[in-house]
A and B are shown apart, each in its own frame.
Chain A
Amino acid sequence: MSDPLLRLDDVYKSYGDERVLSGVSFEMETGDVDVVIGPSGSGKSTMLRCVNRLTEIDSGAIYLDGDCVTDADTDVNELRKQVGMVFQDFNLFAHLTALGNVTLGLRKVRGMEKSAAREKGYEHLEQVGLLDQADSYPAELSGGQKQRVGIARALAMDPKLLLFDEPTSALDPELVGEVVDVMRDLAAEGITMLVVSHEMGFARSAASDIVFLDGGEIVEHGPPEQLFENPRADRTREFLGRLRTEHEEG
């Protein structure tokens, strides 16, 4: 039997006295798209950041493709080459053009030649529909375009796994669609994605599994139709109810 692509095994994390993750365990296979939902402060971002070790865990273990990546002797830069990340507030490199954003990692991390990096950079900008904006600086792009560049930047490293931390929460409602469309395309291409998002349309149509995180624990984990239509736990039902009301109000 082959290893899962990602496995979290009883992960704990506290900030001071505040326990943020308490015994999180779950697995993803290659090609899966898992969507994490949960109230604000429930530890969703922390969980993602533990996977590429922007945050260090206190105990437990995380495995990528069978290798434990939370060992002290793991090369974190090597790990991060394999795990791309897309941020809520984009974090595009403000001094670089769209193309520059996508090629920086290719040049400085992968050591590619300038021309080869450019070629690959254009490919990924095309993948997110922004070939015509290659020479624009972040300040010249709309929020939706920025996030698509952010996705292209992560894709360019050919990661085994892409992490998304609320990729559409900072966007004006009319710009959410273009980003979700790109994410759907990626899902269809078989790219493995772990997505923190409350975009229900995306979760229903693209997710293999939904993970409901509350108070640093995985309360429920299952395919979208089951989790959305027949949640087993009261906390899940309650949260989904609140989410729907918010959605209708908003």
Chain B
Amino acid sequence: MGAETQESASAAGGRTVRARAADLTDQPLTALAVAVFWAWLVVRWTNDFLLDGSLAPRGTSFFPTAPIEFAASTLSGVAADLGVFGLPFRWLAGLVGFVAASVPYLPELATGVWVTVLLTVSGIAFGFVIAVPLSIARVYGGTITRSVALAYTELFRGTPLLAQLFVLYFATPLSIYIRELPAVGTGFVPAQAFWVAVVAFTLNSAAYQSEYIRSALNSVPEGQLTAARSIGLSKVEGIRHVVLPQGLRYAIPGWSNELVYLIKYSSLASFITVRELFEQADAIASETYRYTELFVLAGLLYLALVVSASLLMDAVERYVAIPGLGTSGR
């Protein structure tokens, strides 16, 4: 009973996260902010990884800090002149000062964002490829296939993700094999720890995704497969052409939660030395002692990623919507 309650509570919590994000995405300002964020990221990555720093040297910000610092000091000057009434200006000056202090760290954080994005996208995509057969096995498999699939999901949902990362990284020779592969750890291709994390997130996310897809498949009425079989489709063809296209549409909202979770949980990869966003922020902070700036910045960047994901999934949901079927109508 306890596990069940927790399960539904966390599912509900996830839904709220996304619902809030979806409210945000209704606002054109959010869309604009997300567009600016991605334009910056793409230009930054292109410059750093492909153009070899020809727009701005690697690690150097696109934005000069001097004018921002000047604005901050001007504002605090104004605040001082106004005495008690200068409080709002003092706050503003603090904010602008924060921006000025943050700007130099943005390039290195952008590299961390690249790793986070790559990790999340690979984990969710490879995980999906495993999750679909897994959930089909759960719903349509025989006793043995069903129990094997169930055992898999329970194992990966029932143990901490961090433990899975550690086991794969420290207790298996996986990272040694990966290190031998060409290109690993050069340019924009991250080092072996990253790939171990991809494997862990794939296996873990497959378990969670299969739960969402399984319950979505269960909500496709039985008559759909019967009708498919009655026109001569085999069971597998019926699942592929009739049940899956409907079930996957039902699965979108839950599946989107999993994407949001994975973006945030990808920070756990820092424990096995992957230089994703969180690890990058942590590394810079321990050199510069600018902990507040860096973790606030990292938090904002995670938020931007989560909002982007919500925006994307809303668009996907709208794009694949079919009258009377699935998500928007329910």
Q: Which of A54, A85, A140 contacts B324 (CB 8 A)?
A: A140
By beta carbon, the residue of chain B nearest A79 is B232
Report yes or no: B323 in contact with A91, Cβ–Cβ below 8 A: no
What residues on A are CB-neighbors of B246 within 8 Å?
A: 94-95
From residue 86 to 110 of chain A, which have CB atoms closer than 8 A to chain B?
Answer: 87, 89, 91-95, 104-105, 108-109
A68 on the B face (CB < 8 A):
no
Report yes or no: A93 in contact with B323, Cβ–Cβ below 8 A: no
B52 on the A face (CB < 8 A):
no
What residues on B are CB-neighbors of A91 within 8 Å?
A: 221, 223-224, 226-227
Question: What distance in Å separates the Cβ of B59 from its nearest Cβ neighbour in chain A?
Answer: 50
Report yes or no: A85 in contact with B230, Cβ–Cβ below 8 A: yes
Question: What distance in Å separates the Cβ of B230 from its nearest Cβ neighbour in chain A?
Answer: 4
Question: What distance in Å separates the Cβ of B18 from its nearest Cβ neighbour in chain A?
Answer: 23
Report if A157-B224 is in contact (Cβ < 8 Å); known contacts: A94-B246, A95-B245, A139-B323: no
A154 on the B face (CB < 8 A):
yes
What residues on B are CB-neighbors of A228 within 8 Å?
A: none
Report yes or no: A93 in contact with B233, Cβ–Cβ below 8 A: no
Which of the listed residues A108, A137, A153 has the most CB atoms from chain B within 10 Å of its own CB? A108
Per-residue contact bits, chain A 24-46, to B (CB 8 Å; 1 contact, 0 not):
00000000000000000000000
Report if A94-B224 is in contact (Cβ < 8 Å); known contacts: A104-B241, A138-B324, A139-B325: yes
A77 on the B face (CB < 8 A):
yes
Report yes or no: B325 in contact with A109, Cβ–Cβ below 8 A: no
What residues on A are CB-neighbors of B233 within 8 Å?
A: 77, 104-105, 108-109
Report if A157-B231 is in contact (Cβ < 8 Å); known contacts: A91-B226, A95-B249: yes
By beta carbon, the residue of chain B nearest A140 is B323
Report yes or no: A78 in contact with B231, Cβ–Cβ below 8 A: no
By beta carbon, the residue of chain A nearest B222 is A91
A52 on the B face (CB < 8 A):
yes
Report yes or no: B231 in contact with A105, Cβ–Cβ below 8 A: yes
What residues on A are CB-neighbors of B242 within 8 Å?
A: 93, 95, 104
Please tell me the size bucket of the interface on B. 20 to 34
Report yes or no: B325 in contact with A77, Cβ–Cβ below 8 A: no
Question: What distance in Å separates the Cβ of A136 from its nearest Cβ neighbour in chain B?
Answer: 8
What residues on A are CB-neighbors of B146 within 8 Å?
A: none
What residues on B are CB-neighbors of A105 within 8 Å?
A: 231-233
What residues on B are CB-neighbors of A87 within 8 Å?
A: 223, 226-227, 230
B174 on the A face (CB < 8 A):
no
A7 on the B face (CB < 8 A):
no
Tell me, in angstroms, the Cα distance from A138 to B29 when the chains sit together.
38
A81 on the B face (CB < 8 A):
yes
Per-residue contact bits, chain B 314-330, to A (CB 8 Å; 1 contact, 0 not):
00000000111100000
Report yes or no: B323 in contact with A137, Cβ–Cβ below 8 A: yes
Question: What distance in Å separates the Cβ of B252 from its nearest Cβ neighbour in chain A?
Answer: 13
Tell me, in angstroms, the Cα distance from A235 to B325 when the chains sit together.
45
By beta carbon, the residue of chain A nearest B244 is A95
A237 on the B face (CB < 8 A):
no
Tell me, in angstroms, the Cα distance from A54 to B227 when the chains sit together.
10
**Could you tell me which A residues sit within 8 Å of B by CB distance?**
52, 54, 77-78, 80-81, 84-85, 87, 89, 91-95, 104-105, 108-109, 137-140, 153-154, 157
8 A-B contact pairs sorted by A residue (CB < 8 Å): A54-B230, A80-B230, A84-B230, A92-B227, A93-B228, A137-B324, A139-B325, A140-B324
Q: Which 9 A-B pairs have the closest CB atoms?
A: A139-B324, A91-B227, A105-B231, A91-B223, A81-B232, A85-B230, A109-B232, A80-B232, A137-B323
Given A87-B223, A95-B242, 13 more pairs with CB closer than 8 A: A54-B230, A77-B233, A77-B234, A80-B230, A81-B232, A87-B226, A87-B227, A87-B230, A89-B223, A91-B223, A93-B224, A108-B233, A157-B232
